[in-house]
């Protein structure tokens, strides 16, 4: 079980989107194959928007990544 960084619900990994953080960059990890620390988000737009609004990625990762780049990674993960 992994926890969504937006709503903080724990769910099985296959119900969540996975992201990884590498070289200062947040990437969508669609195939769950990237190494490094995984960050998880529910597979829906609500949690994506909540995470963006609350700057949840940057808080969890203690970084200051560009909101635009985070949004792009989320869009990619959601398949938009
Ligand atoms: Zn969630």
Q: How far apart are the CA of 10 and the centre of ligand 1, in A?
A: 8
Q: How far apart are the CA of 7 and the centre of ligand 1, in A?
A: 4
Q: How far apart are the CA of 16 and the centre of ligand 1, in A?
A: 8
Q: How far apart are the CA of 26 and the centre of ligand 1, in A?
A: 18
Mean pLDDT rounded to a whole number for the chain: 93
The answer to whether residues 43 and 15 touch, using CB atoms and an 8 Å cutoff, is yes
- CA 37, distance to chain mean position in Å, is 11
pLDDT of residue 34: 86
pLDDT of residue 80: 64
What are the structural domains, with CATH classification, of the chain?
Answer: 2-78 (3.30.1230.10)
d(CA 68, CA 76): 12
Q: CB 80: neighbour CB atoms within 10 A?
A: 9
Mean pLDDT of 7-33: 92
* pLDDT of 56 higher than 80: yes
Mean pLDDT of 24-38: 88
Query: By percentage, how much of the chain surpasses pLDDT 70?
Result: 99
What pTM did the predictor assign? 0.90
Q: How far apart are the CA of 24 and the centre of ligand 1, in A?
A: 23
């Amino acid at each position: 079980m992994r926890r969504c960084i937006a709503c903080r619900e724990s769910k099985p990994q296959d119900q969540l989107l996975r992201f990884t953080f590498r070289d200062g960059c947040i990437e969508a990890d669609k195939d769950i194959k990237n190494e490094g620390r995984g960050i998880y988000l529910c597979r829906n737009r609500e949690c994506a928007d909540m995470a963006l609004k609350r700057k949840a990625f940057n808080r969890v990762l203690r970084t200051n990544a560009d909101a635009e780049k985070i949004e792009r990674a989320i869009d990619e993960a959601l398949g938009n």
